[in-house]
Amino acid sequence: MASISFRGLAKHFGGVVAVKDFTLDVPDGELLVLVGPSGCGKTTTLRMLAGLEAPTAGEIWLGEREIARLPARERNIAMVFQNYALYPHMTVAENVGFALRLAGVKRDEVARRVLKAAEMMGIGGLLERRPRELSGGQRQRVAVCRAIVRDPQAFLFDEPLSNLDAKLRMSARAEIRRLQQRLGVTTVYVTHDQVEAMTLADRMVVMHDGCIQQVGRPLDIYARPANTFVAGFIGSPPLNLLPVSLSATLGLPQQLLTMGSEVATIGVRPESISLRASDLRRPLHLTAQLELVEALGAESLLHLRLGEWPLLARVPGTVSVSAGDTLALAMDGSALCFFGNDGQRIDDSDLQLSLAQTHNASVVRPATGN
Amino acid sequence: MTLGTPWRAVGHLVLVLLCLSMVVPLLVALGMAFKPPNEVYSLVPWPQAPTLDNFRRLFEQVPFHLYLWNSVATTALRVGGQIVIAVLCAYAFARWEFPGREWLFGAVLGAMMVPHTLTMIPIYMMIAELQWFDTWRALVIPNLAMPFAVFLLRQHFRSFPRELFDAAEMDGAGHWRALWLVVLPNLKPVLSALAIILFIDCWNEYFWPLLVTDAPESRTVQIGIREFLEADHNDFGGLMAGVTLASLPALAVFFVFQRKVMDTFVASGIK
């Protein structure tokens, strides 16, 4: 087990920059998730850590060793691949024990360790089967088993759940989390699924266009996205991004437009919008047209229109509204995010303060229409 | 698309006729190999009084056992060498990045376009210079590099899943062990097919062995059969005994490897 440090890591493919200036420390035992849309450089970063791709520049430290130029087999890192990459001609036992065999471990020792790892993953009964005789979920377990049997210094996961169906994915996710906590091995996990990232990560790294957009604990990133990209990517459904010109409609103080004069975009979480103003700490009132209701059972997603701007609200499933209604809504003024012209988050303590003052000074309008 | 019954019947008939056109000459040769001289011109394809005399005469009049041994040995050496060279060469073209790779591969493909007849005389002169006449070297070495085999295998190495190469690398395998323990076991059908093609190509070769061998003890079976016919122009029984013996190894190789090819397809779940 070891910590991992990236120092100015970069990768260019010809003229295309896949990763630039990736600098990050992963403490020993942490589960770090790299998340971002496809093409954001997360898999390339992982492959450079694995030793499957040579970095154009920068360093990678694994514990006390600088490994960026070492071949993969000298790094003592294990990886679980998206399509599992099990060797079709070998049995499960041979697949799991392959790395140990190559390392020259004695036959009975290999058998013992394979059995132990297989029992930990609940595949002890499958050791003599071949990969084609296994279901997707079983293959995935074998792939994880192959990684843990080696007792590596770090685990890498490259979208290991994306080939599973939704139900299996949830249980496999929880299992990977438990396993990682139990083994305490530093883990880097790549996914494009932000729900997976949120639920698994100790810390997550949101990437876009080869750059780190934000690093932090999932809930911190959720509550305080660093820029409009992160805001739009994290959360399901994501943050509503509205132009500042709507601030009057939203019941925001006019000072917002002049305050520092940088605010360009206002972010509103769908769950910060409510049909009942009394639910909210600091309600701001607005009226919107309901275009579509997506009833999910426990909750409903309301597709609203605020003038020409779409707005998504997440409300309890018990609320009965129908498309075409004009709704009087309230949103939580304390949960707003503000972004500047460059898309970066504006540290909003001043804004929040002025918002609070305005709100306290104004007469609270009665909630109507619900 | 499924064809109606009449069309299916016609299709089957065509297939049966094609099959017969391949099998009948073989069976006639096999029958004649066991016929005594007075039955050779009889229209009944199988012998009335089977005899091994034809085989005895074949081995008495020419050193047919030497011809067989030369053919078996040079073919094994040549096909083995061709596969080893083609595997290594194709792996390098498929997996390694080095300057001039595409250019070099283009040259290999170019070599495939050059007809054998064109290179025969220069190679013949080289063999003469090296004094390799009447040796296995002359039969084996000039044909070891096989552009077609390199091309075929390169395509298969390129379409081999990249994740398996990656997984092998993560598991600690270098190029040699990745190739030997992961790639080749999964390409057995291709290697088998290639082995069949190369074997038949070499086993049936006539002109090149004719050029570079002269002494009876260094000749191969295909030329041996002609030698025998030259010794006695009318001994068709003996000739067919030779043909039968010359065909057996080719048939055996075909059946063994074809079985392997089929096994692998069935095993991989592609039916």
**Which stretches within chain B are classed as H helix?**
5-33, 53-61, 64-95, 101-113, 116-130, 136-140, 147-158, 162-170, 175-177, 184-186, 188-203, 207-212, 221-231, 236-267
A178, A198, A223: which is the final residue of a domain? A223
- Tell me, yes or no, whether A141 and A111 share the same domain: yes
Residue where the block lists tokens 């499957």: A52
- Tell me, yes or no, whether A102 and A64 share the same domain: yes
A169, A189, A223: which is the final residue of a domain? A223
- Provide the residue type at A340 as one letter: G
- Tell me, yes or no, whether A93 and A138 share the same domain: yes
- Tell me, yes or no, whether A18 and A95 share the same domain: yes
Inside any domain, residue B88 = yes
Q: Average pLDDT in the B10-31 region? A: 92
The domain in which residue A52 lies consists of 4-223
Inside any domain, residue A267 = yes
- Tell me, yes or no, whether A245 and A337 share the same domain: yes
Q: Average pLDDT in the A106-114 region? A: 95
For residue A361, the model assigns a pLDDT of 46
Inside any domain, residue A261 = yes
**Which of A90-99, A216-225, A309-318, B166-175 is predicted least confidently?**
A309-318
Distance (Å, whole) CA A145 – CA A92: 10
Q: Which has more pLDDT, B196 or B2? A: B196
For residue B261, the model assigns a pLDDT of 67
- Tell me, yes or no, whether A174 and A286 share the same domain: no
Q: Please state, as a whole number, how many other Cβ atoms lie within 10 Å of the Cβ of residue B179.
A: 19
Inside any domain, residue B14 = no
For residue A44, the model assigns a pLDDT of 95
The rounded percent of chain B whose pLDDT value lies above 90 is: 50
Inside any domain, residue B99 = yes
Inside any domain, residue A320 = yes
Digit-coded pLDDT (tens) for A164-210: 888 889 999 999 999 999 999 999 999 999 889 999 999 999 999 99
Instruction: Establish, for the pair of chains A and B, how many residue pairs have beta carbons separated by less than 8 Å.
Output: 56
CATH, residue A269: 2.40.50.140
CATH, residue A160: 3.40.50.300
Inside any domain, residue A71 = yes
Residue where the block lists tokens 């016609």: B10
Does the pLDDT at position A75 exceed 60? yes
Max CA-CA distance within chain B? 72
Joined tokens for residue B137: 């070297």
Chain B hits for A86, CB-CB cut-off 8 Å, are 167
Distance (Å, whole) CA A16 – CA A350: 41
CA angle, residues B44, B35, B225, in degrees to nearest 5: 115
CATH, residue B170: 1.10.3720.10
Check B174 against A81: CB less than 8 A apart.
Answer: no
Joined tokens for residue A62: 């694994």
Chain B hits for A71, CB-CB cut-off 8 Å, are 169, 174
For residue A106, the model assigns a pLDDT of 95
- Tell me, yes or no, whether A193 and A60 share the same domain: yes
Check A87 against B164: CB less than 8 A apart.
Answer: yes
* Residue A104 backbone zone (phi > 0: left; psi -120 to 50: alpha; other: beta): left
Strand arrangement of the beta sheet that strand A309-316 belongs to: A273-274, A326-332, A283-295, A299-306, A309-316
Cα A113 from chain centroid (whole Å)? 33
Inside any domain, residue B176 = yes
Per DSSP, the three-state class of A10 is strand
Q: Compute φ and ψ for A33, nearest 5 degrees.
A: -110, 125
Chain B hits for A83, CB-CB cut-off 8 Å, are 161, 163
- Tell me, yes or no, whether A249 and A198 share the same domain: no
CA distance B168 to chain A (A): 8
* Residue A153 backbone zone (phi > 0: left; psi -120 to 50: alpha; other: beta): alpha
For residue A367, the model assigns a pLDDT of 41
Digit-coded pLDDT (tens) for A333-366: 778 888 888 888 887 566 665 665 555 544 344 4
Q: Are A27 and A3 in contact (CB under 8 A)?
A: yes
For residue B216, the model assigns a pLDDT of 82
**Which stretches within chain A are classed as H helix?**
42-50, 92-102, 107-120, 136-148, 166-183, 194-200, 218-223, 228-233, 255-258, 349-361
Q: Does B174 touch chain A (CB under 8 A)?
A: yes
- Tell me, yes or no, whether A66 and A200 share the same domain: yes
Check B161 against A83: CB less than 8 A apart.
Answer: yes
Q: How confident is the model at residue A370 (pLDDT cuts 50, 70, 90)?
A: very low
A223, A258, A279: which is the final residue of a domain? A223
Inside any domain, residue B255 = yes
A299-306 vs A309-316, strand pairing mode:
antiparallel
Residues 144-203 of chain A with CB under 8 A from chain B are: 146
Distance (Å, whole) CA A364 – CA A282: 10
- Tell me, yes or no, whether A301 and A323 share the same domain: yes
Q: Average pLDDT in the A229-252 region? A: 84
Check B170 against A71: CB less than 8 A apart.
Answer: no
Beta-ladder partners of A190: A34, A158
Does the pLDDT at position B27 exceed 50? yes
For residue A308, the model assigns a pLDDT of 85
Q: Please state, as a whole number, how many other Cβ atoms lie within 10 Å of the Cβ of residue B265.
A: 12
Average pLDDT, chain A: 87
Inside any domain, residue A109 = yes
Digit-coded pLDDT (tens) for B100-135: 999 999 999 998 898 888 889 999 999 999 999 999
Distance (Å, whole) CA A272 – CA A285: 12
Inside any domain, residue A228 = no
Tally of domains in chain B: 1
Beta-ladder partners of A313: A302
Q: Does B214 touch chain A (CB under 8 A)?
A: no
Global ipTM = 0.82
Inside any domain, residue B61 = yes
Max CA-CA distance within chain A? 80
Q: Average pLDDT in the A21-28 region? A: 96
Distance (Å, whole) CA A106 – CA A113: 11
Q: What is the DSSP string of B66-131?
A: HHHHHHHHHHHHHHHHHHHHHHHHHHHHHH---TTHHHHHHHHHHHHHS-HHHHHHHHHHHHHHHT
Q: Does B190 touch chain A (CB under 8 A)?
A: no
For residue A364, the model assigns a pLDDT of 41
Q: Does A81 touch chain B (CB under 8 A)?
A: yes
A154-158 vs A77-80, strand pairing mode:
parallel
Inside any domain, residue A268 = yes
Distance (Å, whole) CA A201 – CA A110: 32
Beta-ladder partners of A155: A78, A187
Tally of domains in chain A: 2
Per DSSP, the three-state class of A173 is helix
Inside any domain, residue B242 = yes
Contacts of residue B43, Cβ cutoff 8 Å, sequence gap at least 6: none
For residue A365, the model assigns a pLDDT of 42
Residues 2-61 of chain A with CB under 8 A from chain B are: 50-52
For residue A347, the model assigns a pLDDT of 72
Distance (Å, whole) CA A284 – CA A262: 22
Distance (Å, whole) CA B129 – CA B182: 43
For residue B271, the model assigns a pLDDT of 30
The domain in which residue B229 lies consists of 55-267
Inside any domain, residue B4 = no
- Tell me, yes or no, whether A164 and A47 share the same domain: yes
Q: Does B268 touch chain A (CB under 8 A)?
A: yes
Q: Are B198 and B146 in contact (CB under 8 A)?
A: yes
Does the pLDDT at position A95 exceed 90? yes
Distance (Å, whole) CA A245 – CA A25: 40
- Tell me, yes or no, whether A212 and A249 share the same domain: no
